[in-house]
Amino acid sequence: MNKPAQSFRKILTVATLAAVAVSAAAREPAGAQIDAPASAQATDVAFSPDGGAEALVLKTIGSARTSIRLAAYSFTSPPVVRALLDAKRRGVDVAVVVDYKNNLSESRSNAPREALNLLVNAGIPTRTVSAYAIHHDKYIVVDGLHVETGSFNFSTAAARRNSENVIVVWNNPAVARQYIAHWQSRWAQGQPYRSTY
């Protein structure tokens, strides 16, 4: 086998093993807390539709011990909603801010409203932001330490059809503080979402 083919095969093997590891981490029992990496700073990356992006988002949510702050553009993903509800049941302080137009006034489906209703009815404070052309943020801050971000919308399309990316910066409170400050500013601009039932 020539050298470029061997190099490609090694890269493919490493990528496959990484995807399997991320996928395995996401298969924890429903509601189970997942441990974040040890105290050293680390990063994890994943892609979709074929590289475990949703699994890494769920791992991030599952690692929460004290708090989750989520900012979203599109918010329709049943697995993400379930993970947030599970975190709330574990005693985690969860709060969510989402784009108003994409999820409510311009949405052609009822999926965003259903997802937001589930959060609010479970006691998760949720606000919608309409101060911008679009509130295009897509990130999660966990425990004031870990940040998940990237192009990944919290939707089935992002997980199964779109080309997306996710990166998690673990154990970096300086980065988390910046994201929390941004989240707080958007939260302050938002309006409380009221359940339709």
146 is catalytic: no
Angstrom distance (rounded) from CA 95 to CA 43: 24
59 is catalytic: no
Q: Pick the catalytic residue from 93, 143, 146, 182.
A: 143
Q: How many other C-beta atoms can be found within 10 angstroms of the C-beta atom of residue 186?
A: 19
Strand 93-99 versus strand 67-72 pairing type: parallel
Angstrom distance (rounded) from CA 104 to CA 179: 25
10 is catalytic: no
Is the CB of residue 177 less than 8 Å from the CB of residue 163?
no
Q: How many other C-beta atoms can be found within 10 angstroms of the C-beta atom of residue 181?
A: 9
Residue type, 86: D
Q: Pick the catalytic residue from 44, 99, 135, 138.
A: 138
For the chain, how many residues are written? Answer: 197
Q: Pick the catalytic residue from 88, 93, 101, 136.
A: 136
Q: What residues contact residue 179 under an 8 Å CB cut-off, 6+ apart? A: 69, 139, 141, 147, 149
Angstrom distance (rounded) from CA 162 to CA 47: 10
* Catalytically annotated residues: 136, 138, 143
